Amino acid sequence: MFLVNFSVTSYHAYLNKRCIVNPRRGPFHFRAPSRILYKAIRGMIPHKTARGAAALDRIKLFEGVPAPYDRVKRMVVPDALRVLRLKPGRKYTTIGRISHEVGWKYQDVVAKLEEKRKAKSAAYYQRKVALAAIQKKSAESKADSIKDINASITALGH
């Protein structure tokens, strides 16, 4: 648990940094995982140039998977997978855990919404599989009656 504790401790050290004269001037310490990741990405991009600012404007960060994106097929970057990158047995932490330990209050809300989204997605997938099975069965049952139509279609090059 050293790495996890170190990550939280180092983030606590970051939280202690403030303007002595007037702390309302900043720096502002966001607790949400999306804002922590945003600041980390901003540190890697030349955000003070027009090109970097445009790149930051294109970034969209969310906690969980919101409504328009839950129907979009998700992509996996193999180079970023923990299974492929980390040595087995290596300690790690997540931004969500660090956020929760430094005061983010919505971890259980996001978890509940994710469970609801996963249940809805599983039900959709079951309906999709059942529909595909029905379509396959009907295509097999009508294959002999439309054999001549399929032959004429293949003769036309389709």
DSSP 8-class letter at 16 = T
Give the per-residue pLDDT at 1.
45
Q: Which CATH superfamily is domain 1-105 in?
A: Ribosomal protein L13 (3.90.1180.10)
Give the per-residue pLDDT at 3.
56
| 155, two tokens | 């003769």
The domain segmentation of the chain, as residue ranges, is 1-105, 106-158
| 18, two tokens | 């403030």
pTM for the whole structure: 0.75
What is the residue-level pLDDT of the chain in tens, covering all 158 positions?
445 677 788 888 888 888 889 988 988 889 999 999 999 999 999 999 999 999 999 999 999 999 899 999 989 999 999 999 999 999 888 999 999 988 999 999 999 999 999 999 999 999 999 999 999 999 888 888 888 888 889 998 87
Give the per-residue pLDDT at 146.
85
Give the per-residue pLDDT at 122.
95
Give the per-residue pLDDT at 2.
47
DSSP 8-class letter at 48 = T
How far, in Å, are 123, 132, 133, 140 from residue 127 at the CA level?
Answer: 6, 9, 10, 20
Give the per-residue pLDDT at 62.
95
DSSP secondary structure, 57-123, as one string:
HH----SS--GGGTTSPPP--GGG-HHHHSPTT-----HHHHHHHTT---HHHHHHHHHHHHHHHHH
